[in-house]
Structure 1
């Protein structure tokens, strides 16, 4: 049970750390080879760019988990605790609807690109894999939103 709890609490952190570390190493190799050896491989820049895209979408899930996504707090300052919790629950449900739309559209684009067989210029990997970042990242976000909704409902019941 401890391993599952650790994965639940730190999954995005581990994934983001690995992606960021890889991107930093790739960019450092690119810079070293370009300016010291005067011959830089094109694939390092391309892979770093794709890793950055994945990092953004996994980062959305991390922001949701930490409840740090963009919001307007002005209204929340004047509301009661019960009203605050209710608004948070409603906004999380609206965010889930947004995520579902993007997941559906992003999956359609990724599947289309995979069926076309389009590949990246330097790495020759299917571009559909790059475009799967949005459906996968926002699917993780939905999991975190559901966890937040459950937490908010429990806190709302505790106010009674």
Structure 2
């Protein structure tokens, strides 16, 4: 149940951030051709929307195995070694995103003391993308690792 809610939030976040990214870029293009001056905040909105689209979409890509695999190298190993390597990779990636999530808490807290240059929003909102990415990646990697370890050995 929790997994479905998290997936739905990530999908909505991805869709909204991509649409806002497209909208801000179209506004930039329109303003550069038809207005005297393009609004300065559109560049910052585009950057934030891109960052958030990556933060929302990456866990979904991990969940669905949409990342690149080096099968040629990997298929040289026996099934036992493939399992060990997969386990090691999942553990290392989990640790990496756990460290990211933990370290990003400090950035989010510090970010609420400063404002963005052109939009005036708190930078903690922008920095929260790292926290979202770290937590959701740890969640889906943890599920994947549990499923991987429950599979019978070859």
> Which TM-score applies when normalising by structure 2?
0.84
Question: RMSD of the TM alignment (CA)?
Answer: 2.3
- Whether the aligned pair in 2 keeps the contact of 1:27 and 1:44 (CA below 8 Å) is yes
Q: CA deviation at 1:84?
A: 2.0
Matched, 1:109 2:107: yes
Matched with 2:84 is 86
How has the CA–CA distance of structure 1 residues 9 and 49 changed in structure 2, closer, same or farther, with 3 Å as cutoff? closer
In structure 2, stretches of 5+ residues that fail to align are none
Q: Which digits, 9 at most, give the CA deviation of each residue in 1:85-130, with x for residues without a partner?
A: 332122111111111111122211221222xx21011110011211
- Whether the aligned pair in 2 keeps the contact of 1:61 and 1:138 (CA below 8 Å) is no
Choose the corresponding residue for 2:62, options 52, 61, 64.
64
Mapped to 1, the partners of 2:40 and 2:98 lie a distance apart of: 35
In structure 1, stretches of 5+ residues that fail to align are none
Q: Secondary structure at the match of 1:55?
A: helix
Matched, 1:121 2:121: no
Mapped to 2, the partners of 1:79 and 1:10 lie a distance apart of: 37
Q: CA deviation at 1:67?
A: 2.3
Matched with 2:149 is 153
> Which TM-score applies when normalising by structure 1?
0.81
More RCO (CA 8 Å, sep 6+): 1
